[in-house]
Structure 1
């Protein structure tokens, strides 16, 4: 099947959860025999990559963020209309703005499409009147995938969608499992990720001597200073390639995601579980759906420093408990989020879309 995937930004020029997931998904679909084309924004400094699928770089005016997005959307629409006879199904990563492009292209050409809510494209956009209208239009028009039952419940309560279904992220399962002593965080160093909450929770604990923070962002300097002030021995690694994240997970005893808002179903959580790490995470977006509380990790309320501290200490102080929880987490990911499982569900949706 000829599958077109639209995603606003793409590795290696941009590395984020949606972008990394899209690249791995395109590889998995290509490996399953599909002809995949990824349509993404051009930056004028693209790095040539050897991939088993085609990448179409969409031109845009980069004089400002607004102009870049607007011209990208117009050019993307034109390119998809041009290529309509070569597309069996259009998969729009993020309901805003790519999902709305799918709606327009569908009405112009009849190409079947669906969209995918990834987290930030919904939670950070739905209160803007214009973006809310665009999101509602897509929800009323086509199938929209979400990453968890929690996100589905949020969307259904807020709108009156036609068809919202749950399909989580896919994850590569490493051959080995983690065997270290560190507390590991992977993510952007922005306020919504809650790293400051984590550092305050760890202050004065035994676990404060072994913290690895993987990622970069606007809050990095502030967080480094806070760690020093609190006496938390945190190593700030900076941004690393997605393929290198596993090296840091291998050093862990547990993984922590202390986000305060705005999550879908983070790749980092599933990758940590696939590596055999128990997870302590906050109940934001669809995070709680991936964790069996008390079995594969713990879920706490966002911003609850004391509860976060208690749960981290419970696992960190008991190596046997950590190992058993990590083994259960790995088994769950293999059964539910391996690429074989995800591709099979996508293929069923492709067949349904093209039969409509």
Structure 2
């Protein structure tokens, strides 16, 4: 298996770490991992990848006793596609089957922005790899629209269900709403802060508090927006979290929010559901495969800040009824 180094932040890494922790030996499978990407300056990235290619080339040699039966390639888009294509070509030359596991929710958007030559390379790549894994049915349709000859397998993201004593318990003191993930523009966190400001202006915040767990290119801008909007008393940034620290945030929260503009089916959404949290999410990708509007969460349209306000207020109000734990009522019309 090849892909991001575990130190890289993001959903792809979460899946890689999950696969690395699985007991493959119990099924008679030996799985080794070669990281091909690490965060840092361009020179560091290139040198890291070059070193990885040497390792991969050694593994693919015909007389290597540990030569793999299959190579599992994790891929997003842009530079990730370039790296995956090089590794695919190495596998092709060595006559070793390869699987491409796609994670980039904006792959089709990126494909549309590419020049014709690059698009031909992408279509050729998709048709040549032995299998392409996508995270949901909507992704399958998108990839098939790019290259109909792609051999596709839908494999939804999954999470380990926490033990019962770690499942969320309602907190009567603070109603904590959690966002977990990278801080980039398409995640819509700025919209969340607009909704929080509207809740405050309408005197609807009550004991609501918002935890933003993540880092990314928008972090400085988002922190500045919180400061300028005078929301520092209700919005707290934790930085990137993992392991027990992440689990504790889920346990201490009463709702999860993802106001994104483009997704597949994020691991964080599944983790939130596994901890019994109602999820407020936009209607994108394959979110509705896990979040059922009015049952275990509320689905809204991307960019509809007023609907986000209604959803937050609705779940906050329903939290006062113990029977609503992990569930939510359909959103109510907001009167102003």
Matched, 1:25 2:11: no
| CA distance, structure 2, for counterparts of residue 311 and residue 293 of structure 1 | 11
Residues 74 and 124 (structure 1 numbering): CA distance in 2 closer, same or farther, change over 3 Å?
A: farther
How well do the aligned residues superpose, as a CA RMSD in angstroms?
A: 2.8
Verify the 8 A CA contact 2:126 2:150 in the aligned structure 1.
yes
- What TM-score comes out, normalization by structure 2 length? 0.80
Q: CA deviation at 1:324?
A: 4.3
Map 1:120-199 → 2, pairs under 5 A: 120=105, 122-123=107-108, 125-126=110-111, 127-129=113-115, 131-141=118-128, 142-175=130-163, 176-179=166-169, 180=171, 181-199=175-193
Q: What is the match of residue 35 of structure 1?
A: 30
For residues 20 and 266 of structure 1, the distance between their equivalents in structure 2, rounded to whole angstroms, comes to: 10
Distance 1:109 1:284, change over 3 A: same
1:153/1:42 Cα in 2 relative to 1: closer, same or farther (>3 Å)? closer
Change (3 A) 1:167 1:131: farther
Map Cα deviations across residues 108-164 of structure 1 (whole Å, 9 max, x no partner): 122122111112472464232365344322321222111111211222223313322
Q: 1:279 to 1:79 in 2, by over 3 A?
A: farther
Alpha-carbon shift at residue 100 of structure 1 (Å): 2.3
Shift in alpha-carbon separation, 1:32–1:44, aligned structure 2, 3 A: same
- TM-score relative to the length of structure 1: 0.76
Larger radius of gyration: 2
Q: Is the 8 A contact 2:138 2:286 kept in 1?
A: yes
1:203-222 residue pairs with structure 2 within 5 A? 203-205=197-199, 206-207=204-205, 209-222=208-221
CA contact (8 A) 1:119 1:285 kept: no
**Where in structure 2 are there 5+ consecutive unaligned residues?**
329-336
Tell me the distance in 1 between the aligned counterparts of 2:39 and 2:195: 43
C-alpha distance in 2 between matches for 1:68 and 1:6: 16
Corresponding position of 1:16? 10
CA contact (8 A) 2:300 2:308 kept: yes
Change (3 A) 1:223 1:84: farther
Distance in structure 2 (CA, Å) of the matches to 1:118 and 1:289: 17
* Residues 247-278 of structure 1: CA deviation (Å, up to 9, x unaligned): 111111110011123x2221111111111111
- Which deviations, in whole Å up to 9, do the C-alpha atoms of 1:79-125 show, x marking residues without a partner? 44235852122111116245424531332122122111112472464
What is the aligned partner in structure 1 of residue 247 from structure 2? Answer: 246
**Inter-CA distance 41–73: structure 2 relative to 1 (3 Å threshold):** closer
Residues 54-91 of structure 1, C-alpha deviations (whole Å, 9 max, x = no match): xxxxxxx95265x4587367536524423585212211
Q: Gaps (5+ residues) in structure 1?
A: 46-60, 327-356
What is the distance in 2 between the residues matched to 1:6 and 1:108?
Answer: 17
Range with greater deviation from structure 2 (236-245 or 297-306): 236-245
Structure 1 residue 167: deviation in Å? Answer: 0.5
Q: Would you tell me which structure has more helix in proportion to its own residues? A: 1
Q: How far did 1:219 drift? A: 2.1
Q: Report which stretch shifted further, 157-166 or 269-278.
A: 157-166
Check whether the contact 2:193–2:226 (CA below 8 A) recurs between aligned residues: yes
Q: Would you say the 8 A contact 1:10–1:19 is kept in 2?
A: yes
- State the match for 2:333 in structure 1: none
1:52 maps to: none
**Alpha-carbon distance in 1 for matches of 2:125, 2:37:** 25
Could you say which residue in structure 1 is the equivalent of 2:57? 78
Q: CA deviation at 1:39?
A: 1.0
Note if contact 1:18-1:118 (Cα within 8 Å) is conserved in structure 2. Answer: yes
